Amino acid sequence: MTTPTPPCPPCLSWDIGGAHLKTALISDSTLHARQLPCPLWQGIDQFDRASKQALLWAESLYRQQPDTHHVTMSAELADIFISRKQGVLDVLHRLRALLPPQANILVYTLPDGLCPIERAQQHPLAVASANWHITARLMSRLHTVSAPLLLVDIGSTTTDITLLHKQTILSQSDNDHDRLRTGQLVYSGVVRTPLMAFGPTIDVDGKTLPLCAEVFATTADLYRLSDSLKAEDDQMPTADGKSKDASASRRRIARMVALDQSTPSPFLDSLIRAFTNKQKNQLVHACRRVLAQHQCDPRDTHLCVTGCGAFLMDALADALHPSLPRYRLSAHLAESYTLADHARVDSCAPAVALTLL
C-alpha cells in the first residue's frame, strides 16, 4: 500500500454538504475526523454555525488556527440556492469571509484537483459535487493489486459508486445528473432517505402492501433499531420531530403502512426487514450496473465501502458474491496512521482524502 504524504502546515480539510459539514486533519501524527450537522435548507447561517465549530475544533487540536484549508462540496444542490453555480459561489464566498485574509484556501475541482479559491470561483461548476472523486483518487493510489475495486460511499442521503482499476478511476462522469442516470449516484442513504422512496409498494410476509406517500419515517429509524447507526452519524431530526428511541422508531415505521404502535411485533419486525432488504437490493442493483458498464465480473472484483453506511459492507458483498474481498478505508489507513476514531474516518472519507492527497 502506498500512502500519500500529508501536507506539512496545519491544514483543515472541508467536505461541505447540504446536510452535514465533515472535516479532517492530522495533528501529532494522528488522523482526526469530525461530522457536524449543517442543514443548509434552513439557511446559509447553518454553514456559518457549523464552520465556527469546526474551526474551534481544529484550533483545539493544533493549538493554533490552521494555515491551509482544502475544500470540496456537494452543498450547491441545496434548495436555498437558485442554481448549482450560485450555490458554489455563495458557499465559497461565505467561507472566504469566515477565514482570516491570510488563510491559504485550495478548492478541489474536476479535472484539475486542488486550485486557489480565486481560480475555483471562476469555474464554479468544476467544483460542484466533486467530493466523490477525491475519495476515489485516494483509493486509486492505495489499491495497488491488479483486481478492479468497487468503491461504494454510503452517506446519510446518497450513495456514490465508483469503479477503479490499475490505479485509474474508470467512472469519469463530471456531474451529478450523468452519475444519477448511470447508477454511479443513488439518492439513497442510511439517515435521511424517506421510507416512502422504496415504494410504491412493499412485500411483507407474502403480501404486497401499498406505502403511504408521506415522510412518516426515514432510514435512520431502520438502522437505529439494528444498532448499526452510530449516534455521531444520527444528527438529523426524526420525521415527526420526536424521540430517537426504539419505540418511537418502530411507531414511525408502522405508520408507513397506516398502522401504529399497537402493531403486533412479528409483523412489524417483518416490515423492518423488508425495508432494509429493499435498500440493500437497490444498492446492489446499482453496483451491478456500474460493474456491467465496464464488463467487470463481481467475482473478480474487490469492494471498499466508506461513509456512515459502511456497516452495510458485508450485506452488499455477500449479495454481489459471497467470496468478494472487502475492506474499509480506515483499515487501509490504520497501516500507516494512528486513527483517532476508525468509524469517523470511514464516515468522513472525502475530507480525510483531502487531508492526505
Are residues 165 and 291 both part of a single domain? yes
- Average pLDDT, 10 consecutive residues per value, the chain (357 residues): 58 97 95 98 97 97 94 96 97 97 97 96 96 96 94 98 95 88 96 98 97 98 97 97 97 97 93 98 97 95 97 97 94 92 96 95
What is the residue range of 105's domain?
11-129+336-356
Sign of CA dihedral 311, 243, 35, 196: positive
> Can you give the pLDDT at residue 260?
92
Is residue 135 a part of any domain in this protein? Answer: no
pLDDT digits (tens, 9 = 90+) for 184-215: 999 999 999 999 999 999 999 999 999 999 99
Is residue 329 a part of any domain in this protein? Answer: no
> Can you give the pLDDT at residue 171?
81
> Can you give the pLDDT at residue 290?
97
Are residues 227 and 189 both part of a single domain? yes
Is residue 343 a part of any domain in this protein? Answer: yes
pLDDT digits (tens, 9 = 90+) for 238-297: 999 999 999 999 999 999 999 998 989 999 999 999 999 999 999 999 999 999 999 999
> Can you give the pLDDT at residue 173?
84
> Can you give the pLDDT at residue 1?
47
Nearest-10 crossing angle of helices 131-142, 349-356: 60
Are residues 162 and 268 both part of a single domain? yes
For residues 297 and 147, is the Cβ–Cβ distance under 8 A? no
